[in-house]
Amino acid sequence: MSDAGTNEQIEKLAADWLARRQFESWNEDEQKKLEAWLSESDNHTAAYWRLKAAFDRTDRLAALRHPMMRPVSSSAPSRKPWTMLYAAVAAFALIAIGGGIAGYQLLTPDGRTFATPVGGHMTVKLADGSVIELNTDSVLHTDFTPEKRAVQLLKGEAYFQIEHNAQRPFSVTVGDHRIVDLGTKFFVRKSAQQLDVALVEGKARLESTDSASNTRPTVLMPGDFAVATATSIGVSRKPVHELTDDLAWRNGMLVFHNARLVDAAAEFNRYGDTKLVVSDSAAKLTINGAFPTNGAGDFAGVTHEIFGLHVDRKGNDIVLSR
């Protein structure tokens, strides 16, 4: 038997082997080394088997992502109307990022357009070091000159990590509003009626581009959550962890805190072709938890477990009712 303390080290080594197996570089040679290490001692074997079994158990979460539906198309994004729109204008290139669903980049004479399909997620690294992440079903246009970095969010949601450069300001225009970076991380979401801007770090200015508007520019600080409509800008504060949860989509997750079912369903519906429909009787039930963005079916299963809701598939819809 080993000395006290050594088992802790063995466990770390076992976890190392397990971690290493998750990389592409894992090969037969590595596998042989692992087997040799395991055969050195039953303490090695015990530690490794124990951790591996725990790790393997998480498989069930992945397996339950689509418990009652066929998987939503996972890689090749289907052609959406907007691809038709742009296809004639410019050649488009599929950007494969992270092996998952990515998005399209279109080169147009006045800049570049990036777009993601429903369920897509794309990271754009800009030459100045700034990073933009596009969420599902989003379109973003960049127009960079030596004097300015102008970005337009035409649709959807994006997260910005901006390298500040006072000589070359970075601005995001969404409809009638513009966010001017003062060195920051923030995210912007455009919906039919309103614009949401949340500041994670740094400072930014939110202003109206409509000269007729009488809303005054607002400086946003970390934790500020601004909602802008055609006629007003309102700012509230959110705890940072809630803002972080709002950004869980960057990791392919949705996080809900006391969310009404009808709102949670609307979130899922942004990400997939399968639509969750919540009956009025169930709409106001509230739910907590974290789910993969493509886990609408899993989510439906959970509402069945927790609230005993009926789950009915109708074509592309999953209807939840009491």
Interacting residues toward other proteins by CB under 8 A: 1-2, 4-8, 10-12, 15-16, 18-20, 22-25, 41-43, 45-47, 49-51, 53-55, 57-62, 64-65, 97-100, 123, 131, 244, 251-253, 289-290, 292, 305
Residue 161, beta-bridge partner list: 131, 185
Q: How far apart are CA 276 and CA 299, in angstroms?
A: 9
* Other Cβ atoms within 10 Å of 318 Cβ, number: 24
Of the pair 23, 166, the CB lying nearest other proteins is at: 23
Paired sense of beta strands 310-314 and 253-260, if any: unpaired
* Other Cβ atoms within 10 Å of 241 Cβ, number: 10
DSSP 165: -
Q: How far apart are CA 90 and CA 210, in angstroms?
A: 30
Burial (0-12, 13-18, 19+ Cβ within 10 Å), 132: buried
127 backbone dihedrals φ, ψ, rounded to 5°: -60, -30
What is the identity of the amino acid at 5? G
What is the tally of helices (H) and strands (E) in the chain?
A: 9, 18
Give exposure, 275-311, as e/b (b: 16+ Cβ within 10 Å).
bbebeeebeebebeeebbbbbbbbbbbbbeeeeebeb
What is the identity of the amino acid at 106? L
Quote the Cα angle for 180-183-184, to 5°: 90
